[in-house]
Amino acid sequence: MPLAVELLVRFNGPEGRSHSHRIDVLTQVLYTFLQVDPIGYRRELEEGFAFLDGEVPRGPGTARYVLDYRRAEYLSETERREEAFELLYRSLARTERGRIR
């Protein structure tokens, strides 16, 4: 957890905002919080997922797939399985649309 918090601070600072792997790192930080205590860090996770949802492009892409999967894990861990299923279904549909192009 200490490293995750340090990364969160660094990648939200002036230098970190322009880093090419910023979204990936912040997604991994959320995953750390999720693995430690999804209920205890509920507020942080909700805010983090909402923020990254606005930062990650909506179309097909690795960052979107990983973010959706991590969020679905969070929803499942907090017993919101129907929401998790709906999110994963939308992600699968996005994948299929990406293949058609």
Q: Read off the pLDDT of residues 9-67 as tens digits, 9 standing for 90 and up.
A: 999 999 899 999 999 999 999 999 999 999 999 999 999 999 999 999 988 889 999 99
Given a cut of 70, whether residue 75 has pLDDT beyond it is yes
Given a cut of 90, whether residue 79 has pLDDT beyond it is yes
98 touches 91 (CB < 8 A): no
Given a cut of 70, whether residue 95 has pLDDT beyond it is yes
Taking the C-alpha atoms of residue 85 and residue 26, their distance in angstroms, rounded to an integer, is 23
Question: For tokens 């960052």, what's the residue?
Answer: 63
Taking the C-alpha atoms of residue 37 and residue 46, their distance in angstroms, rounded to an integer, is 13
Question: For tokens 């690795």, what's the residue?
Answer: 62
pTM attached to this predicted model: 0.87
